Structure 1
């Protein structure tokens, strides 16, 4: 996939100056308790720093267990933070009370990885999309009136509102999840591996939809993925996370074209390619790189 070269520099959104950080994370640390009563806590994030500007996509890439999903959840207030700060539009939110967190959901939303478990199977699609609107104070009639527009935005037919999730494919369910995330017109969406559970053709369709929505609305994305090739086509900038630390960050072309850190180079070699011989060569290079880093 071709690296995304469009820059957000000089482009702002209403109420937010161009170039200013919408989200700022500083020295963020998250740890989980061990299994036994006397076990030491496991530090999952170790002093992470990152910034996301309005209208920008920051790709956060790393292998399973690197801490990338925990970072997204920490931004959303879904995991406790040991230390550090999370600032959204100039306001510290890392210690926000429950009521404030509920209010922040207007601006901060999430798209989860699995479209099969992220939707309530007993609710129609219309009820699923109306629920966050009603939760933020809209009356039922107003909420249902906006459902059609949300379905249209993600290219689903209006009659989808009357159907249940089981009647849709994985890609269509993920479109519903995207519509739900957009319902409150957020300014930042955490995309937590949003296409990893989909086949390659459906992945491309969903990625194109996310790009289209960003161009239309100016929403910012924290795009979390293990796949550097996906991050490359989606992101203006990339941050590489390894064992709870950001080991390399910069413009997408720089990180994916000439990575400096050995771990980033290993991730790049892990990206699948169509050519069988090239894929074999990459596997050999990856194995050599892992062996060298272990010495």
Structure 2
């Protein structure tokens, strides 16, 4: 079931309505492939909405549509009361103050030829902050993500994967945004580092009130991070609700399948889930 107007929060920071996105097919005469099929969702100020689905479900495309990185066929995207789905390049540049992203791979999301200090200063200088203030803000950002001040003079290759992702988070926070789209931000990290980065994101949210659209395929991560969860399947939102309810007592068959597929440490429970998946597949 999709979210209804009655389910929508009255004071949404981000509101997506009936969003449709398609991509060209392979070959000149191939029909277009519809990736998002009338998606509707809302995010309140200071809230984390977990967007969960398997690979190819459309979750990353939705995040990219909000960022203006893919064209929208129809529907609306409203941010802070302003419709932005048709915003031009200049307006998108202005919107980057309030709307930022943390990508999946910390190894490719940073310019290898720029020092960390230059990476963090770049968006500040681009929005008219003085060089002196930018240097001071860089120090504050490094402190916020628990990296030493001398990290500013080092290149990304001198850091571990988790440290690079902290740099990417610091860059996303540089302009003090109201919403950050986190696109599988911990999937490329080992388990220990993953928990550190997730704790950092929660800490930053508590300190700043930033909202997150947290895109992931992992129900355990979305349960840990989110206030509410939206489940996407074949380009449609099939279930939405409180994170604890959706990730423990899901109503939709697809969400139940995702829950059964999630790995658990308990061997007996994992065996039970495999049996349940096999039974559901008959």
Task: Provide the TM-score with structure 1 as the length reference.
Answer: 0.91
Partner of 2:193: 202
* 5+ long unaligned stretches in structure 1: 1-17
Find the partner of 1:51 among 24, 42, 48.
42
Task: Give the whole-Å Cα distance in 2 for the aligned partners of 1:116 and 1:134.
Answer: 24
- Tell me, yes or no, if structure 1 residue 134 matches structure 2 residue 115: no
Partner of 1:63: 54
> What whole-Å deviation, never above 9, does each CA across 1:76-120 have from its counterpart, x for those lacking one?
000000000000011000000110000000000000000000000
Task: Give the whole-Å Cα distance in 2 for the aligned partners of 1:125 and 1:281.
Answer: 47
Q: Per-residue deviation at 1:19?
A: 5.6
Instruction: State how many pairs are aligned.
Output: 274
Find the partner of 1:88 among 60, 75, 79.
79
Q: Per-residue deviation at 1:22?
A: 0.3
> What whole-Å deviation, never above 9, does each CA across 1:20-78 have from its counterpart, x for those lacking one?
10000000000000011000000000000000000000000000000000000000000
Q: How does 1:190-229 map to 2 (within 5 A)?
A: 190-229=181-220
Q: Per-residue deviation at 1:276?
A: 2.2
Partner of 2:270: 279
* CA RMSD across the alignment: 1.0
Task: Give the whole-Å Cα distance in 2 for the aligned partners of 1:275 and 1:167.
Answer: 37
> What whole-Å deviation, never above 9, does each CA across 1:198-253 have from its counterpart, x for those lacking one?
01111110000000000000000000000011000100000000000000000112
Task: Give the whole-Å Cα distance in 2 for the aligned partners of 1:43 and 1:195.
Answer: 28
SS in 2 for 1:21: coil
Q: Per-residue deviation at 1:261?
A: 0.4
- Tell me, yes or no, if structure 1 residue 179 matches structure 2 residue 138: no
Partner of 1:21: 12
Q: Which 4+ stretches in 1 moved above 3 angstroms?
A: none
> What whole-Å deviation, never above 9, does each CA across 1:248-283 have from its counterpart, x for those lacking one?
000112111210101000111121111223223222
